[in-house]
Amino acid sequence: METKETTNIKIKNCTIFVTVANGEFVELHKNNEYINYNENQIADMFKLEPLHYGTELEGANLTHTFNTYNWNAPFTFCGSYSGEVYDETPSIVNIHLGGDARGNYSKPYVCNDMEAIMLQSSFAEFELSNGEIITIDSENSEAYFDLILDAYYINFDEFLTVEEYEELKEKNNN
d(CA 16, CA 43): 20
DSSP code of residue 96: B
In Å, how far are 30, 62, 72, 117, 161 from 154, measured between CA atoms?
10, 43, 22, 28, 13
pLDDT in tens, the chain (174 residues): 566 898 999 999 999 999 999 999 999 999 999 999 999 999 999 999 999 877 777 778 888 999 988 888 999 999 999 888 888 888 999 999 988 767 789 999 999 999 999 989 999 999 999 999 999 999 888 899 999 999 999 999 999 999 999 999 999 987
Q: What is the pTM for the complete model shown? A: 0.90
Domain boundaries, the chain: 48-118
Query: Residue 157: phi, psi to the nearest 5?
Result: -90, -15
Task: Count CA atoms within 13 Å of residue 114 on its CB side.
Answer: 21
